[in-house]
Chains A and B, each alone.
Chain A
């Protein structure tokens, strides 16, 4: 018997423990599912699916998959990942290689399906016409334009008929370049053509926020074409990718879809000793820390700090959770080679308490849910404690080699984003300003005096076109101060903004520390003499600032102007919005639904006796 067969794992364990239906282990978390071997996932897919479907809080999601290859395997894997991310996806897949027809002439068959998004899963071999070797530069540009028009036709047809975002794969470089190196430069080279076409897709996506490019080109390059393409499976089943590549595709796609629906993580929590610098600051002192250009290890920590800073610059918050004396911990950032400075951290928790307690303090200081956090620590014991006690926190298995940290964090795809808004760029500053507000608060005896000192100015007005993107973003990522947790697409928000039956208002708030941006949205719908509130959300950044008073005062004005004599509101409990269970009562509404079911309550406000409540905010 040869070595391979003898080295196979025993199947006894498989037989005993993994009989479908008899497996009592809990449903896997998303990060854990991503790290499982693909053969195990494909083999146990149906059992995993059954277990993940037991989650009662899954959010429905309808996805049309239009493929240039067979898409079943990809959709199966995507389903598992989306289930683990809290969605209950329903798929409609086009028949093999019918993507063009289903997106254009037959798009009517998708109208009834009402997809939340359409995914165009195309590969390099779904390009209809490649250039010929004798092409001139003009021939090449004309061919790029022709091919682009074909894809544009699909995107426009989908957006016009289905009113939903489109996710479009860009293309792998052709795996067999006939001209070798010249293939990437010659006007007739297929590699050159794909590069031009991918660039054209990128420009379209940059100009259209409802078109998202799924970067298959980079994905396949990172994996390597030898591990990406599977020609046996292509000829046998019309699946172009290896099972590993299908999983990589599904994983990347799930992150992109999650990001469009507000699932991305918001904050990176970092340990200090041997995570952000080499050495133990309490023992070694600042001078002996490994950071900077002096040693290879120091360079690696510098590179990791630079990576963290790059995340902060695009809107990810940074926080510290370290077992250290606070003063000593802070002094580490005085090291002249430290890329990160104290001011880059929106929350800084250094103490000898268990890390889950530190993370809880960060959560309350930043007003973020536990599922907003990614925790990075070189110590496996700390990772295990956090995983055990705070299962909602993502804890990547980063190991203890700092050189590998960026790659391992990146592989989790935690901070995927679909567009970079001004809010993202300003977010870290806004949260840092919030910490300053907290410090100021402790100086005042009276809370009203504190609020006055903030010199708050609110702008509350009907929806404006320039804010619709931010309004949609806020609606879809607010979980705590959210009365109904209704979600809206950008297209729906655009319709509501233009429909006179709706009274939709937004609120911005600025103060002495800076602009908090657009932080609250209410959508009211006129039903005869009542204004029915379908939605009321507010960013937790501005909790306890009486911004809700300013919103209601202005809403009442708008409701009266629209002819309403009362406002009715509804509260529906979710696992996250307990903080607003009593919101309507505190706003002066009367309970009209049954008093024994406060998890789903209805409230009413009589406008004839209403008097304005705002005392500490100047409303523009």
Chain B
């Protein structure tokens, strides 16, 4: 799985959780650049992503993420390990 294909898969999850049907994601998209991506929505995003990829993020792994690209890289790493 490539970073870009993961980001593409993340789009519908983000659209649902944030209730924004036209939201687009790029590698450099971050919480500060998306309306409604606050700490509460973040909890929901993490749950949805964990269930979607059947992974569980460890403490600290999420803290280091700066943007969607970082998240995609982390997902790729966790999925290939499991």
Q: What residues of chain A have their CB less than 8 Å away from a CB belonging to chain B?
A: 1-2, 4-5, 8, 11, 14-15, 18-22, 37-39, 42-47, 50, 72-73, 232-233, 235-237, 239, 243
Contact = CB atoms under 8 A, between A and B. Distances in A.
Contacts of B9: 11
A43 B20 contact: no
Interface residues of B, number: 30
B82 interface: yes
Question: What 9 A-B pairs are tightest by C-beta distance, nearest first?
Answer: A39-B51, A46-B19, A43-B48, A43-B16, A20-B21, A14-B12, A19-B21, A243-B47, A42-B44
A15 B82 contact: no
A8 B43 contact: no
A236 B16 contact: no
B66 interface: no
B64 interface: no
Interface of A is mostly: helix
B44 A45 contact: yes
B1 A5 contact: yes
A18 B47 contact: no
Interface in B39-82: 39-40, 43-44, 47-48, 51-54, 56-59, 62, 79-80, 82
B52 A47 contact: no
Given A2-B82, A14-B12, A235-B59, A22 B21 contact: yes
B57 A232 contact: yes
Nearest to B8: A11
Interface in B1-26: 1, 9, 11-13, 15-21
B40 to A, nearest CB: 5
Nearest to B80: A2
Given A42-B47, A73-B43, A232 B59 contact: yes
Contacts of A47: 16, 19
B48 A20 contact: no
A47 B18 CA distance: 9
A209 B27 CA distance: 56
Given A19-B15, A21-B21, A39-B47, 15 more contacts: A1-B1, A5-B1, A8-B52, A11-B9, A11-B12, A20-B15, A22-B21, A44-B16, A46-B17, A46-B19, A47-B16, A232-B58, A236-B62, A239-B43, A243-B47
10 contacts: A2-B80, A5-B1, A20-B19, A43-B13, A43-B16, A46-B17, A232-B59, A235-B59, A236-B62, A237-B39
A70 to B, nearest CB: 9
A414 to B, nearest CB: 28
A22 B16 CA distance: 11
Nearest to A236: B59
A475 to B, nearest CB: 38
B57 A20 contact: no
A39 B15 contact: no
A15 B1 contact: no
B16 A20 contact: yes
Which of A20, A44, A72 counts the most chain B CB atoms within 10 A?
A: A20
A2 B17 CA distance: 28
A18 B9 CA distance: 13
B46 to A, nearest CB: 9
A39 to B, nearest CB: 3
Nearest to A233: B43
A47 to B, nearest CB: 6
B58 to A, nearest CB: 7
A39 B52 contact: yes
Contacts of A236: 59, 62
B16 A18 contact: yes
A37 B54 CA distance: 14
B2 to A, nearest CB: 12
Contacts of B19: 20, 46-47, 50
Nearest to A50: B19
Contacts of B47: 38-39, 42, 243
A19 B15 CA distance: 7
B35 to A, nearest CB: 13
A21 B20 CA distance: 9
A293 to B, nearest CB: 45
Nearest to A21: B21
Nearest to B41: A46
A11 B6 CA distance: 11
A301 to B, nearest CB: 38
Which of B12, B53, B79, B80 counts the most chain A CB atoms within 10 A?
A: B12
A19 to B, nearest CB: 5
Contacts of A72: 40, 43
A243 B43 CA distance: 10
Which of A18, A73, A232, A239 counts the most chain B CB atoms within 10 A?
A: A232
B21 to A, nearest CB: 5
B17 A43 contact: yes
Contacts of A37: 51
A42 B59 contact: no
A4 B82 CA distance: 8
B56 A42 contact: no
A96 B17 CA distance: 23
B66 to A, nearest CB: 17
A72 B40 CA distance: 7
Nearest to A39: B51
B62 to A, nearest CB: 7
B59 to A, nearest CB: 5
Contacts of A42: 17, 44, 47-48
A235 B80 CA distance: 26
A306 B45 CA distance: 45
Given A20-B20, A39-B51, A39-B52, A237 B43 contact: yes
A597 B50 CA distance: 55
A22 B15 CA distance: 12
Contacts of A39: 47-48, 51-52
Contacts of B48: 39, 42-43
A360 B54 CA distance: 46
A2 B57 CA distance: 19
Contacts of B79: 2, 4-5
Nearest to B42: A237
A152 to B, nearest CB: 33
Nearest to B79: A5
A232 B56 contact: yes
Nearest to B55: A4
Nearest to A246: B47
